[in-house]
């Protein structure tokens, strides 16, 4: 995120001597993006972060996509996914392309290893549940409605509290940031942005571990999963500062932009990445023109695929979806409200729906395993009966 944060102990000047009590040096790590021309932070470790003792290839990350099917709208009910495990190995993917993978995970176990995605940033949306994400930058508590944004290369471990947690998972091969049109030339969020830096929460506490032993850091890179063993705890950072760090943003702090007539989807945009955007549909007042039609007009996605993850509420333009549903409305054919939904929306004052939308600018492919949770009749649900 484009604002400065500092935690723990750091020297007065970067790249200068910073000693422990015994006179030995803390080990400085510059973690930067875009070849040191993007966001970066400087971390100070008790041990060199390069000091691994064993590297093992665990295997290929297997994503088996379906063969091409007839172009149509698709509906997947993730409530039927019952796999339980930790927050990484329990992930079940539904859609993907070269820019991102979309899936869900319902962790019921603590990770007995650490993890880093070295392919790109991750966004985890908390459908329900509470817990903590321990990272090399400090600990992030999470709660329902949180977007957890984890920069590429960040070592972390997600630990759910007692009770169920369900996360929408967006793994990217690029960066994730706030929409450019909501930022000034210095990176600050502008007055017309639907949220500001006050709503963005970095790590709350920096826990520094100096224990030795055997610590496994699983690393996803280039389509493979690797294991790196260290004899020191990977969260051994005593202090850091900079502009690159994990954070949470809760969807309840997204202030919807409304108007006299129906506003287009970009007003709901929350994040952007390479070839995709993430939007938040939140409870909001409807349009206030005396003859407004609050339901969206039919529209053609001529250059993007639209994905919706339904969180809660009665989504005003859809029939047959449920909490945890994922719909895919692909580029090339029009989509819009189900029959009767346009008429039913006239005169309504507000909506209490909550959903996450992901628009991609390259076609998405469906995982073969997603067929098991697909509503195959969804494509015909616009027919008037």
Q: What is the pLDDT of residue 1?
A: 60
In angstroms, the CA 240 to CA 238 distance is: 7
Q: What is the CATH code of the structural domain delimited by 255-380?
A: 2.60.120.10
Q: Give the contacts of 266 (CB within 8 A, at least 6 positions apart).
A: 277, 279
Kindly tell me the burial class for residue 19, based on how many C-beta atoms sit within 10 Å of its own C-beta (0-12, 13-18, 19 or more): exposed
Instruction: Tell me the whole-structure pTM to 2 decimals.
Output: 0.96
Residue 316, pLDDT score: 67
Q: How many helices (H) and strands (E) does the chain have?
A: 1, 30
Structure tokens belonging to residue 268: 């709901």
Contact present, 337 and 291 (Cβ < 8 Å): no
pLDDT at 137: 98
Q: 332: which residues sit within 8 A by CB, 6+ positions away?
A: 71, 300, 301, 302
Q: In the prediction, which pLDDT does 384 show?
A: 72
CA angle 26, 28, 30 (to 5 degrees): 165
Low-confidence ranges of the chain (pLDDT < 70): 1-2, 316-317, 385
The confidence score (pLDDT) of residue 320 equals 82
Distance CA 296, CA 262 (A): 7
What whole-number distance in Å separates Cα of residue 333 and Cα of residue 300?
6
Rounded CA separation 361/382 (Å): 25
Distance CA 85, CA 44 (A): 33
Residue for token digits 């053609």?
Answer: 300
| Nearest alpha carbon to residue 281 among 297, 296, 299 | 296
- The residues spanned by each domain of the chain are 255-380
């Amino acid at each position: 995120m484009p604002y400065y944060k500092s935690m723990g102990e750091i020297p007065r000047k970067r790249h200068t001597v910073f000693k422990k009590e015994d006179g030995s040096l803390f080990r400085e790590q510059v973690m930067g993006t875009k070849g040191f021309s993007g966001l970066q932070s400087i971390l100070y470790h008790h041990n060199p972060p390069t000091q691994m003792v064993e590297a093992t290839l665990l295997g290929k990350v297997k994503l088996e996509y379906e063969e091409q099917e007839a172009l149509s709208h698709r509906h997947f009910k993730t409530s039927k996914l019952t796999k339980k495990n930790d927050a990484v190995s329990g992930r079940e993917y539904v859609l993907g392309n070269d820019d991102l993978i979309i899936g869900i995970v319902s962790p019921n176990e603590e990770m007995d290893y650490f993890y880093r995605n070295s392919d790109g940033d991750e966004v985890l949306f908390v459908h329900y549940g509470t817990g903590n994400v321990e990272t090399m930058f400090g600990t992030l508590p999470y709660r329902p409605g949180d977007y957890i944004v984890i920069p590429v290369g960040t070592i972390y471990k997600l630990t759910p509290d007692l009770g169920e947690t369900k996360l929408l998972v967006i793994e990217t091969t690029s960066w994730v940031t706030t929409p450019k049109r909501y930022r000034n030339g210095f990176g600050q969020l502008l007055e017309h942005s639907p949220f500001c830096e006050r709503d963005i929460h970095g790590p709350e506490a920096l826990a520094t571990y100096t224990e030795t032993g055997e610590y496994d850091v699983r690393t996803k890179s280039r389509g493979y999963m690797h294991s790196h063993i260290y004899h020191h705890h990977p969260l051994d950072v005593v202090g850091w500062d900079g502009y690159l760090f994990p954070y949470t943003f809760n969807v309840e702090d997204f202030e919807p932009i409304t108007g006299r007539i129906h506003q287009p989807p970009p007003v709901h945009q929350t994040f952007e990445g390479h070839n995709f955007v993430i939007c938040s549909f939140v409870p909001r007042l409807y349009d206030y023109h005396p003859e407004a039609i609050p339901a969206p007009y039919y529209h053609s996605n001529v250059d993007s695929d639209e994905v919706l993850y339904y969180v809660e509420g009665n989504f005003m333009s859809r029939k047959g979806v449920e909490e945890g549903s994922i719909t895919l409305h692909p580029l090339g054919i029009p989509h819009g409200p189900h029959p009767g939904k346009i008429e039913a929306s006239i005169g309504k004052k507000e909506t209490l729906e909550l959903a996450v939308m992901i628009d991609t600018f390259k076609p998405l492919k469906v995982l073969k395993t997603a067929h098991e949770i697909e509503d195959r009749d969804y494509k015909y649900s616009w027919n008037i009966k």
